[in-house]
Amino acid sequence: MRQRTSSERAGRLIRCASGADAYQAFLPKALPPDPPLEYNRAIRALDEEANRALGRLDAAVSFIPDAELFLYSYVRKEAILSSQIEGTQSTLVELLELEVTPRARPPNDEVQEVSNYVAAIQHGLKRLRQDGFPLSLRLIRETHDILLRSGRGARRNPGEFRRSQNWLGGTGPADAQYVPPPPDQVMPCLDAMENYIHEEDDVPLLIKTGLVHAQFETIHPFLDGNGRVGRLLVTLMLCAKGVLSEPLHYLSLYLKQRRLEYYERLSAIRFEGDWERWIEFYLEGVLEVSRSAAETAQRITALFQEHRDALDGFGRASSTLLRLHRLLCRVPVVTARQGAQELGVTAPTVQRAIDIFRQQGWLNEVTGRSRGRVYAYTPYLRILTEGLEERPG
């Protein structure tokens, strides 16, 4: 490891291997921080503001006539963002096109990885809500297994905590920027983290989620997919504790736009013991993301209402148009065949409705094919894809 020393507030460096193969790995202390976190004025104020913003987000979504319409696409936007941080280059339209035309062509690895992320989110929430499963190491492993079950990570031991040393940066542990705990310490560290998640204490929940996220990233328990699972862990904790009624809070856009500061703040925990600056950074992200998501929900609600009002003026065709519009609110990429099946009408009837939507400037054909055309609900996707356009550096 490059010349770093640990303050030992968050953990300590331990020597591993010997001779020319020797390196130092970081062994984190169990949570909570010791000495205890200092609740300075900035942290207290940010925690209060972030909690209020989360409450407003929950309320904003409740005004959408069917929250599932919003959730379907918003979860997929998060899947794209979280995967972009790891270097995956895929678009929301590509993901949605895969879902509506799964047999049209095999997905590339990057689109498959994003699709896996959606499935991992859905699995985690189902286990928590429908199966009554606790937020546990077992659930984390199950989620990871789905995340890496196909695509480029399929050979990186999906669903298994690592049994070998990993590192970040450099060509090996000896010259790495950061070396997580050695494999024989992974399970003790994870067991302590799981105990802390369920420990009854007076630490405010948002702050606790920030501590757990940083600890998970420090342990880095998988060979691949740690960042995506670590970000998803925050959302699962908020839903498990009842702070969010729907999975609408994701830090990926905030962390994507501030990647260097994110890594610096995590590094400062490990080598300077600076938990306070990390918590301030984390709470600022919760606040910013909550406000942004609430605004997005409000804009989408207004868009849906504007288009429904416009469709009322189409006379006898209004019924089919309104039904197609509702389908597009739920699944903003559609084929004529899919529309016919969903609405229980003929393909020509749906195609006529699609043509009207295209004349309104609401639908665009995205494949360029003469057969099996796929149409995207452009105004809706334009709102959803804000923040996706900028590729990570």
Give the pLDDT confidence of 209-267 residue by residue, as tens digits: 999 999 999 999 999 999 989 999 998 999 898 887 777 778 888 888 899 999 999 99
For the domain bounded by 11-296, which CATH number is listed?
Answer: 1.10.3290.10
* Domain 312-384 falls under CATH 3.90.226.10: no
State how far the Cα of 372 lies from the Cα of 336, in Å rounded to an integer: 8
pLDDT tens by residue, 326-351: 999 888 889 998 899 999 999 999 99
Per the CB < 8 A criterion, the answer to whether 331 and 325 are in contact is no
pLDDT category of residue 391 using cuts at 50, 70 and 90: very low
Average pLDDT over the chain reads 87
In this structure, of 134-148, 151-165, 274-288, 344-358, the range with the lowest mean pLDDT score is 151-165
Amino acid in the structure at residue 220: H
Out of 87-96, 342-351, 353-362, least confident range: 87-96
CA distances from 164 to 30, 42, 184, 235 (A): 21, 40, 9, 28
Whether 11-296 and 312-384 share one fold: the answer is no
Distance between CA 252 and CA 262 in Å, rounded? 11
pLDDT of the residue at 3: 42
Tokens of 251: 């830090």
pLDDT exceeding 90 applies to what percent of the chain?
53
Helix-, strand-, coil-residue percentages of the chain, each rounded to 5:
60, 5, 35
CA gap 70, 72 in Å, rounded: 6
pLDDT band at residue 103, thresholds of 50, 70 and 90?
low
Q: Is the pLDDT assigned to residue 358 strictly greater than 90?
A: yes
Decide if pLDDT at 393 tops 50: no
The answer to whether 333 and 365 have CB atoms below 8 angstroms apart is no
Beta-ladder partners of 23:
16
Confidence label for 2 from pLDDT (cuts 50, 70 and 90): very low
How far from the centroid of its chain's Cα atoms is residue 25's Cα?
Answer: 28
- DSSP class of 45: H
Question: Per-residue pLDDT for 194 more than 60?
Answer: yes
Q: Where are the domains of the chain?
A: 11-296, 312-384
Phi/psi of residue 27, nearest 5 degrees? -110, 105
pTM score above 0.85:
yes
Three-class secondary structure of residue 135 per DSSP = coil
Higher pLDDT, 354 or 331: 354
Provide CB contacts within 8 A for 146, sequence distance 6+.
116, 119, 120, 123, 158
